[in-house]
Each structure stands twice: as C-alpha cells, then as structure tokens.
Structure 1
C-alpha cells in the first residue's frame, strides 16, 4: 500500500431525472492498495482516518499514509470486519475516536462499538462500549455505520444477520436496528423504549435490514439512514425515535430466489421509505452535502452505490422533500463503499476492492 501523487482526471456525469447545473469535477487519487476501505473520518485540526475491512486503520496526512496500531481484533469473514470510524465531537481536546466492527467468530458474533484514544499513530485505552448480544452465527448483515447527534449521543446501525430477519421487528433483539447510546455506552434516559421492560433500552428505531448509511443534517435537524433491500427495495429513511421502518413485514423487494418476502409493500403503523430503489443500487455510505465547493448541491444526499458503481445524488427541498435524482462520477467505474464531505467541501469516496482506493473529488 502506498499513497500516490494526486492525479486529476475529468469525470463525465450521467444525469438521471431533472437536469442539474453543469458540474465539471475532477478526481484525485489519494491512496490505493487498501483492503476494501470501508470508511473515512476527517480529524478536527487536520488528517484523515481510513478503515480497511480486514482490520487495518490508516492515518493520511498530505501524501503520507501511516498505519495505526492498537486496533482491536475483528471478525474478518464475508461481510464482517472493521467498519466505521468517527471522531468524538471533543476530539481536539480528548483525542477520542470510535470504531464499529464485527466481533467474535463465525458461530458467535455481533456488531461492536469501541472507543479509543488516538495518540500519534497508536490507539490507547481501547474500550468496547457496546456489543450486540446475544451473539449470532453467520458472516453477513452487520450494519455498522455511526453518526453523532447534536446532544453528543452516538447513533449506529445493526444489520438483521440475514438468517434472522424476523428479529428486526423484535424489541428484545439487537438485530436490524438503529441504536443510540452515550459515549461511555450507557442508555440515554430519553430513548424511546426505555420504559418497556421487555425491550432493549438502546433501541432508537427498528425494522431495518442492513443499514450501511447514516448521516445527521444539522440544518434540517434530521437523521438520514439507508439500507440494502433484498432483490430490490433499497431504502432511504428519515429516522425518528421509536418508529418502525417495516422490514421484513413490509418491503418492495423480493427474496434473492425471486420468492415473496412479504405480501405487504406498506403496512399501517410502519414508515415508508423517503426513497426506494427497485432494482437495487446497493447503497453504502451516506453524506448530506453542506459545503462551498458545490453550492448547488447544498442539502442534498450523496449515496454510494456498490452495484451501480456511482454516487447517487438525491435532490431534496429545504424541508426534505425528494425533488429528483442524479447519477454522479460514473467514470470512476468502481463499487463505491463510502462517501464523505470534507471540511473544504470536497467529496471523498472509497472503492470496494481488495486493492481499493481513496479518491478526492473537487472542482
């Protein structure tokens, strides 16, 4: 693995739906040779962290990339591995970061969140603060995205484990949920199911399949999430505490065999998706664009697409109504795993490959 000098390449844009203002972006190859780079985090004060699914964590500073030591062991099998990384809101004072990853073995595993102190290129005081228990078998559908909310609590996603999809509806199971905890792993006292003795207090919302996108928009005050459907039925949702997002009772997708998952596309008391994709685009990575570099995109969602090999722009009104969609950066020609907006307004993405890349898109 090594960092390459910035290579600028003009990108064509394929427009789907209403025509947007012409944009002539360029892509810079920042790093390559990474094992399925899963997530990017911009550190306050400078520097970038990048996770690899096989458990690697790297720190980028300019054109230099350094491996960070002290990463906890991960269950690296199938879709399991090291997932997201986010910096604490007080990072400049405390140096704390958070990692999400698959923990355990193939016969007993679950999504775990750990906090650690980043000192130079080392993680110290690594402390697990959440583990999805009871542990399950298998190596798919872990979720694993994280996002801080304005009150300093941490929201994160768990997958349904594929073979356990009915548990996405159960309040006594951690599978198929958006969770919310404090930074030391405690249950916030205003979580929606705290007074239900049969429910897990960490649950913020339920009825999710495999959510791999989570982003909070501070302007609208909304938490956006997206998740993989089965064969069709990928969704973008606005997450509100205590709500049920339907899986597997209501879905617009079919099972991979072509069989019907449920006779219901919608169900009373369950939330409809803000956006639903049939066929699937396989969404992974989500950002709300807020920046000066592409001002015509302000407030829009940027969704990485693994199958469609693009970034999908979802155009939103100031109130959050969907106005249309646009296909961006298809000239990259690779599966997009993560999408982030840098402090300068540039867009960074990672490509999902055993020799994956980190790319910076600007104008």
Structure 2
C-alpha cells in the first residue's frame, strides 16, 4: 500500500528520469468542446432526455435468450440485417465459445489457447469480430496466460466459423511485462475504423496495472496500465505517440474496461477506480489519464492514494462514479429501436447491478441509471439486428437476456 509521500516521490523521480514524455507536460490540452463533469451522477441536469431515460425500465420487456453460462466474460454479435438474423457469441472465462443462432440453438466449442491462466480476474477476457467479417473470417481474442508467478495479457487471432467455432489460432501480441497478481488485466479490444497500418487494420487493447504495480501506469517503458495500439500482424500502429514505446496509445489507467468508438471517430473508455473514482474518459493518442497520481477514489483501506484530484498535463474524466459502480463494458448505441438512447453510451455495471446511459447534455456528460430490473451483476452488452439490447449477466450461472420495447413484443 503506497502512501501519499511515496506517490509524490515517484512523481518527482519519474519526471526527473524522463519516464513521462515531455509532450505530456507541454502539449496536452483539454478538448475545447468537452467540459469534464466530475461527480455527474450527483449533479446531473434533469431535462426531458433524462426523464425519458429514467422511464426506460417501465417500457421494456425482458426475456431469456440462453441460460446456464459458467463465468462468461464477453458478448458480441454477428448481425445479418438482410436476413434479419443475429448470431450471439459468448466467451467464458475457462476457454469456451458459445454460439446462439437466431432460432435459439446453442452450440459450444473449446478455445485452444496456449497456456491459458484461469485465476482471480484472469481467463478469456474479450472477443472482437472485425467489421470485415464474413469476407474475412479473422477474429481476435484476449486472455491471460502464464502462471501464478508470471502472467500477462495476450491477444490472438483465429478463423471463425459460426458452425464450428474458432480455429487456426495464432499469437498477435503479448504484454512485455509479467506480474504475479491474477487481477487487473484490462483486455478490452477495439477495431479502429478507418485506421490502417501498411494496409493492415488497426486495433486497441486495454491493459490493467496489475494492482500491486500501479506506479507502472505512469512509466512510459511499461505496458501496464495503458491502452496499446497494434496491427493484425502484431506490429505497432503508424505514427506512435512515444517512439521509445511505440505500442502505447494512452497511459495512466488502473483497470480499463469498456472501449468504444463513436460515429465521429471519438474513442470512449471507462475504467475501475479503487473505492470510488470509476471513470468515463475520452481518449486522445498520447494523453495521460492520471492514475495513480490523480484519482477521485480512495484505497480500499480508506487511505488516500494521492493528494491530487487534478494535475497539470493529465486528463480529467467526462464522468466520475463515486461511490463505485464497477463498470464492466460499454456500447455506443446508434440504432433507432430506442430513440431516446440514440447516440448514447450504454454502460453495464457489476457492483451496481444496473445499466447506465451516458449522454451529453449542454456541455457536460451525464450518467443516468436506466435499468436495474434483473438485480444481477451485468458483465457485457450488445445489440441484435432489430436494435434490441442483449445483456450478459455475471457468475457461475449466468445468462443472456434480450431487452425490447413493449410495443414491439409481437414482432
């Protein structure tokens, strides 16, 4: 457990040694179009939009799609709007791919992952199906690999068949540093639409700080506590922010989870704070998001982690959740099934057992709890071909539920 004095000492030594890039102290400026909104949950502006969002639960129906899932970690969909069909894909912690077709048929396939490490928060972490599917059948998986003494985050690629699972799995990227803690992996994947590197698709993956290694989130030479950029062949993206560490896209993260791209190319990320200080951030390449120098949360013992709630050159969050909600995943909703949700971030939470809508009101981002009917920890969220919400619950007996508008139940 680090005291305020240790954090201050680390900051001074890191600045002196060049661990922080000079660009972070000199050229990082706040987005002129976005004002940080700390504690927006308590200070949200009540307007017609927020009133509409708060009535969401009373205007939807919920039905189970698949049940009896053992520790699922991620959910995604393959949507065929021409055929008006959706395949639902779930990956579980222990290395299984579950596919549910549009008729409700459930198929399960093992994932052949090298040295899969299943302990604590480890295991299979995420699955990403690039927008080129099915013309290209390449998909990405993230997972923890190694042992109790030395484990790390890994990203692999494989070929997806909706009838036979994922085959031909090959390594793409592994975090350089190993750790001896089974927590704070990050592991969320994102395809950068329109971003190419030597004609290859660009991707981002989040990495956690490993809990006991939180100072590494501020060290440019470490890949812990970062968002990393890479191509499908595992090379760094072009024009990196830090030439000495070309994989680093952003730094200063604790345990980043939800990662999505908006219609104008903006990239949103949320992450777990300690006791309080969960955040939504707008990412900009090369930016520093503060952890552990800046936090609005406290250590689990109640001790202060840092004296700073802001710091020059470090970005402030768009949204702060204190007390913590434990955000788990996120989508940018752009369908018209729910007009009140169009162009809204939808965030699932574990501790709060609820779905939150995050939207911009005037110049601030406002978080509104819109759905807690399940009273279960929510692990992930996706959308089907109609624009209905698919929610993945958490735990040893989890399920996927479909949330659809009451008036459309007969469709």
Q: Which residue of 95, 100, 109 corresponds with 2:142?
A: 100
Deviates more, 1:113-122 or 1:302-311: 113-122
TM-score, normalisation: structure 1: 0.90
The structure 2 residue matched to 1:67, chosen from 108, 133, 137, is: 108
Structure with the larger RCO, 1 or 2 (CA within 8 Å, 6+ apart): 2
Kindly state the Cα deviation for residue 324 of structure 1 after the two structures are TM-superposed.
2.7
**Residue 20 of structure 1: aligned partner:** 51
**Equivalent residue number for residue 308 of structure 2:** 264
After superposition, the Cα gap between the structure-2 partners of 1:37 and 1:27, relative to the gap in structure 1 and judged at 3 Å, is same
Q: TM-score, normalised by structure 2?
A: 0.80
Q: Which runs of 5+ in 2 are unaligned?
A: 1-43, 81-85, 196-200, 406-411
Following superposition of structure 1 onto structure 2, how do residues 69-148 of structure 1 map, counting pairs within 5 Å?
69-73=110-114, 74-119=116-161, 120-148=163-191
Query: Aligned residue for 1:164?
Result: 213
- Aligned-residue Cα RMSD (Å) equals 1.5
- Name the structure 2 match of 1:4: none
Partner of 1:203: 248
Of 229, 253, 263, the match for 1:180: 229
Structure 2 CA distance for aligned equivalents of residues 37 and 305 of structure 1 = 14
Check conservation: 2:121, 2:184, Cα contact below 8 A.
Answer: yes
1:304 and 2:355 are equivalent in the alignment:
no
Name the CA distance, whole Å, in 1 between partners of 2:127 and 2:305. Answer: 33
Stretch of structure 1 that moved more, 162-171 or 48-57: 48-57
Q: Label 1:17 to 1:350 Cα distance change in 2 as closer, same or farther (>3 A).
A: farther
**Matched residues in 1 for 2:360 and 2:388: separation?**
19
1:167 match: secondary structure: helix
Task: Return the offset for 1:327.
Answer: 1.2
Of residues 287, 290, 295, the one that matches 2:334 is: 290
Residue 98 (structure 2) pairs with residue 58 (structure 1): yes
Shift of 1:91: 1.4
Task: Find runs of 4+ consecutive structure 1 residues off by over 3 angstroms.
Answer: none
Task: Give the gaps of 5 or more residues in structure 1.
Answer: 1-15
Please tell me whether the aligned partners of residues 55 and 76 of structure 1 are also in contact (alpha carbons under 8 angstroms): no
Computing the radius of gyration from Cα coordinates, the structure with the larger value is 2
